[in-house]
Amino acid sequence: MILLLLRERDFMEVIKLRDEYIKLGQAMKLAGMAESGVDAKYAILDGKVKVNGHAEYQRGKKLVAGDVVEYRGETIRIEA
């Protein structure tokens, strides 16, 4: 599933994919944006999480290479 999580600069995490995609809730947990799936779920349902600059309301949203997730001043980028 996930190959690697890297810190790039002081404000952006990079998630390297092994497969075609990772779900938004899983990416948030992996990057430490959410402590649990429940925390990720409510942040997403409340419209507090942005994917590529737009509020995302689907926890199961498939993230692919090039996608950028923002939450609470933290940013993660998805790479192949």
69, 61 Cβ separation under 8 angstroms: no
pLDDT band at 4 (very low <50, low <70, confident <90, very high): low
Structure tokens that stand for 1 in this block? 């599933």
Q: Is the dihedral of CA 49, 51, 57, 61 positive or negative?
A: negative
Can you give the pLDDT at residue 7?
53
pLDDT tens for each residue of 37-67: 999 999 999 999 999 999 999 999 999 999 9
* Total-model pTM: 0.84
Q: Which CATH number fits domain 2-79: 3.40.50.2300, 3.90.950.10, 3.10.290.10, 3.90.1150.10?
A: 3.10.290.10
pLDDT tens for each residue of 64-75: 999 999 999 999
Top pLDDT among 3 and 62 is at 62
H helix intervals, 1-80: 24-30, 37-45
DSSP state of 60: T
